[in-house]
Amino acid sequence: MSARTKARKRAIDLLYGADLREISLNQAIEMEAERAKADPNRWNSWIYARQIVEGIAEHGDEIDELIETYAQGWTINRMPVTDRAIIRIGIWEILFNDEVPDGVAIDEAVEAAKSLSTDDSGSFVNGLLGRIAQTRA
């Protein structure tokens, strides 16, 4: 598993935990930063994970508006928490991280959805992120 894939998984965990605990992303970032400082093995994947979550915190309203617009028949609150986290990461990478090609962002999100969420999540994530990526073209 690549370092960025590990970081994405940590970002999913962080977003998922913040959503379930109903805490702000900034609070979740602070808590995870303390854990990362205490465990050097966690530090390597923390740098990119933090960049992802900070980016989602900064652009959250825009990201969630895109989800609501392109989710065709799904409200953001109706989606599984894991799918919301994965989709938010994918959108952030597509729109706000020029270092990650759109195809890589989509593939990583689809693989995460297949392994961490429902049987239908991979195709749902693929379709949603694909539509959003096309808006950039």
pLDDT bin (cut points 50, 70, 90) of residue 40 is: confident
Q: Which pLDDT score is estimated for 42?
A: 75
Per-residue tokens: 65: 């508006």
Q: Is the pLDDT of residue 20 over 80?
A: yes
Q: Which pLDDT score is estimated for 117?
A: 95
Per-residue pLDDT reduced to its tens digit, 45-104: 889 999 999 999 999 999 999 999 999 888 899 999 999 999 999 999 999 999 999 999
Could you tell me if residue 8 is left (phi over 0), alpha (psi between -120 and 50 degrees) or otherwise beta?
alpha
What CATH number does the domain containing 27 carry?
A: 1.10.940.10
**114 CB contacts (<8 Å, ≥6 apart)?**
121, 122
As for how many domains the chain has, the answer is 1
> What is this structure's pTM?
0.94
For residue 63, the enclosing domain spans 3-136
